[in-house]
Structure 1
Amino acid sequence: MDAPHFIWQQPDWPRMHYDGAVVGGEVALARRAQGVIEGKLSAIGFEQRRTLAAEAWSQEAVATAAIEGEHLSLLAVRSSVARRLGVAGQSGASVPRHIDGLLDIMDDAVNRAAVPLSHERLHGWQAALFPTGYSGINKIRVGAYREHAEPMQIVSGRIGHEKLHYEAPPSAMVPAEMAAWLDWFNHDGRGDSLVRAALAHLWFETVHPFEDGNGRVGRVIVDLLLARDSGETSRLMRISQGLLARRDDYYSELERAQRGGLDVTAWVAWFVKQVRVACEQAALIIDEAMAKGRFWRAHGEQELSPRQRKVINVILDAGPGGFEGGMSTKKYESLTGASRATASRDLSELEDWGLLLRAGNGRSTRYYPNIPDWGLRAEAADTPA
């Protein structure tokens, strides 16, 4: 096993510092991106906002688990989220207890964001992730901080070839360290909320107070601080999804901050940038929802067969350019089970009615939604609408 990069040295956490100019620039960009989301949200209705929030929450739950190597069923997560938010159109089998537990703590963080954190609340969050008392096949301590005598080590790699990234404080120090963290979290209101989220997450992950579940609980703490800061808007910020996409960088930046002393400029700037990117992605998702809303307002009275409606929804759900290569007769057959002749006729009708635009001819014929810049682009310029 490689030598550890960092061994606990009990830093004076409240004295963490960062370069205000560097971090301030990132905060300004993130705040601007947040403002864009808020402006766009004001242009859509309550039901549309609730649907967007449900999908964002579902994707976040799957992502935060995936960061830890756990793969959740998106269908099961969506089903539970839909029931919680009262969103129609989602159904599924009963949801496993550990999935409901994860959604419970995410919900608690957002809906009770103003309530101070406590040891008991954090213990409850961690226990909800492991309702059987096991992590995989290993029995763990749940609903309490870790107490094992051996060092808490963060490793990666296959058995026998592990790489030790970090060694957390001894278990005997955890209660005092968490008491200090909670005192800072609940009573020190200095600094921008996005910066506080970065600091809170770093400090919590460095203490690593539980036997398992630290990453998921640590990201729920971020959810809580964003909810305090942004209210409803925070539901649409897919922070964990962005961290999953940059998981190697996420771990590297955390590790660098944990062994870099009290100057945490690089970590805070990196984290705030992820918030900004999440806001920018949320704005694009809202744009897509608005475009789909305009599409159905323009074509909602057109009588479509169940096959046609299914295909249109598949294309729209894929988003701009998301249905790679456009819709072809062959793809239509595969999606609906229709014959080649029926698929060709259905697509021609959708083109005639103005729901789809056609590009190419013969076997190269492809269809795209009649929404500006949603896949046709250069091809549309050469094809009569």
Structure 2
Amino acid sequence: MPPTTSLIWKAPSWPGMHYDAVRVGGELARAHRAHGIVEGKLAGLGFEQRLELAAEAWSQDAVATAAIEGERIDLTAVRSSVARRLGVGDHDGPNAPRSVEGLLDIMDDAVQQREAPLTHERLFAWQAALFPTGYSGMTKILVGAYREHAEPMQIVSGRVGRERVHYEAPSSAQVPAEMQAFLDWFNAETEHDNLVKAALAHLWFETIHPFEDGNGRVGRVLIDLVLARDNGETSRLIRTSQRLLDKRRDYYEQMERAQHGGLDVTEWVLWFVEQVRVSCEEASQVIDASLEKAMFWMSHQDKVLTARQRKVVNLLLDAGPNGFEGGMSTRKYESIGGTSRATASRELIELEDMALLRKVGGGRSTRYYLNISGWGPADTDHAESPPHDD
């Protein structure tokens, strides 16, 4: 059975893309307001805390951009590589594969060299970094150059025999000219807000699909580059790839509609800016948790804790107000801390006596929660007893 083909893309005059500025303007204002809140909250954190948040956000976004393409990479290895690059956190984790280091290289280049012009050579280097062996899986591909094969580049989904062609990209012979037009536009001063420019750049690049492989990851690094020009290093905290992974079905559908809808790309721009806004709101929640953690330790800076007690308290803090289901029990503490039941019980009681934890229930149903207003059961006097620890 031949592939089911939707409307085939025909190269329009992309610099003529337009959108309804009035409709987009409201969402842009909300997105910029959300980002301003992020900036304001960051001011309440120390340099090391900001670096730690940036490292975790960068690590999660790297894993997400690969996952959108169906590639699973080890978060622990990514974290250790990012820690080494930023000089923060645990540097002693496993080494990441060369392809993953290449992905981190291009994400870093987009931020560190954000004011440098985008060129064919820079894009070639980005794509080549993703495929250091010259292979994508078991298939040898052209790296460090635009595609050259004679066959049409079709974007296809679905299993063999039931494929659906979403669109057919311009022929390989057209790619150099199409990419030159794209780069001329990208590097020029435009009247577009940078969030709009990021939306247009990503859509345009993905529609040309200039490489044999790696177009999605390179295209999302272009988003990073545009956002970094607006926000510098703090752009690392805005996990756009994570958001696109969370909304992957919508992401593909919105892009496909825009590629088939002529030059009016209002719906795509609206959708994209909304995702950036939500990413900012999610970053704001992460900063709130970090601020809460900093304030908690500041209020208990005079307390002397064992390394095991500090580890458990930090685990509860990292889990957030509702993240550690069922609270901390003696058995959980014993397992997490690698200690005996008697020591676990004694150290939990010490944490309660120092007012770091508060106790709910009694006997075998005893649970401990961080002593932070709003965390854990709302009413400790009438809270339902958690299940037994049998």
TM-score (norm 1): 0.96
Please report the RMSD computed on the Cα atoms of aligned residues, expressed in angstroms: 1.5
How many residues align? The count is 382
Residue 388 (structure 2) aligns with: none
Residue 332 (structure 2) aligns with: 331
What SS does the aligned partner of 1:262 have?
coil
What SS does the aligned partner of 1:270 have?
helix
Q: For residues 176-204 of structure 1, give each alpha carbon's deviation from its aligned partner in whole angstroms, at most 9, with x where no partner exists.
A: 11011001101142111100000000000
Q: How does 1:1-385 map to 2 (within 5 A)?
A: 1-374=2-375, 376-380=376-380, 382=382
Deviation at 1:96, TM superposition (A): 1.4
Deviation at 1:305, TM superposition (A): 2.2
What SS does the aligned partner of 1:177 have?
helix
Moved more, 346-355 or 358-367: 358-367
Q: Structure 2 CA distance, aligned partners of 1:373 and 1:167?
A: 53
Distance 1:93 1:114, change over 3 A: same
Q: Structure 2 CA distance, aligned partners of 1:311 and 1:345?
A: 14
Q: Structure 1 CA distance, aligned partners of 2:90 and 2:280?
A: 26
Distance 1:363 1:226, change over 3 A: same
What SS does the aligned partner of 1:205 have?
helix
Q: In the alignment, residue 71 of structure 1 is paired with which amino acid?
A: R
What SS does the aligned partner of 1:7 have?
coil
Q: For residues 297-333 of structure 1, give each alpha carbon's deviation from its aligned partner in whole angstroms, at most 9, with x where no partner exists.
A: 1223322223222211211122231112221222222
Q: Structure 2 CA distance, aligned partners of 1:88 and 1:264?
A: 42
Moved more, 196-205 or 7-16: 7-16
Residue 386 (structure 2) aligns with: none
What SS does the aligned partner of 1:149 have?
coil
Moved more, 87-96 or 209-218: 87-96
Q: For residues 81-122 of structure 1, give each alpha carbon's deviation from its aligned partner in whole angstroms, at most 9, with x where no partner exists.
A: 111111133321332111110111001100111111000000
Q: Structure 2 CA distance, aligned partners of 1:291 and 1:381?
A: 25
Deviation at 1:166, TM superposition (A): 2.0
Q: For residues 257-312 of structure 1, give each alpha carbon's deviation from its aligned partner in whole angstroms, at most 9, with x where no partner exists.
A: 11111111110000000110011111111111111111111223322223222211
Q: For residues 330-372 of structure 1, give each alpha carbon's deviation from its aligned partner in whole angstroms, at most 9, with x where no partner exists.
A: 2222212323332222222211111112223333322221222
Query: Contact 1:6–1:258 (CA<8 Å) still a contact in 2?
Result: no
What SS does the aligned partner of 2:359 have?
strand
What SS does the aligned partner of 2:378 have?
helix
Q: Structure 1 CA distance, aligned partners of 2:59 and 2:74?
A: 10
Deviation at 1:382, TM superposition (A): 4.2
Q: Percent identity?
A: 66
Q: Structure 1 CA distance, aligned partners of 2:195 and 2:213?
A: 26
Distance 1:171 1:328, change over 3 A: same
Q: Structure 2 CA distance, aligned partners of 1:350 and 1:135?
A: 52
* Structure 1 stretches lacking a partner, 5+ long: none
Runs of 4+ in structure 1 displaced over 4 angstroms? none
Q: Structure 2 CA distance, aligned partners of 1:370 and 1:143?
A: 55
Q: In the alignment, residue 345 of structure 1 is paired with which amino acid?
A: R
Query: Contact 2:150–2:171 (CA<8 Å) still a contact in 1?
Result: yes
Q: Structure 2 CA distance, aligned partners of 1:372 and 1:153?
A: 55
TM-score (norm 2): 0.94
Q: Structure 2 CA distance, aligned partners of 1:369 and 1:158?
A: 49
Q: In the alignment, residue 179 of structure 1 is paired with which amino acid?
A: Q
Residue 387 (structure 2) aligns with: none
Query: Contact 2:80–2:90 (CA<8 Å) still a contact in 1?
Result: no
* Structure 2 stretches lacking a partner, 5+ long: 384-390
Q: Structure 1 CA distance, aligned partners of 2:362 and 2:6?
A: 60
Moved more, 341-350 or 74-83: 341-350
Q: Structure 1 CA distance, aligned partners of 2:302 and 2:157?
A: 56
Q: Structure 2 CA distance, aligned partners of 1:153 and 1:364?
A: 60
What SS does the aligned partner of 1:378 have?
coil
Q: Structure 1 CA distance, aligned partners of 2:366 and 2:173?
A: 68
Query: Contact 2:10–2:169 (CA<8 Å) still a contact in 1?
Result: no
Q: In the alignment, residue 221 of structure 2 is paired with which amino acid?
A: V
Q: Structure 1 CA distance, aligned partners of 2:321 and 2:260?
A: 42
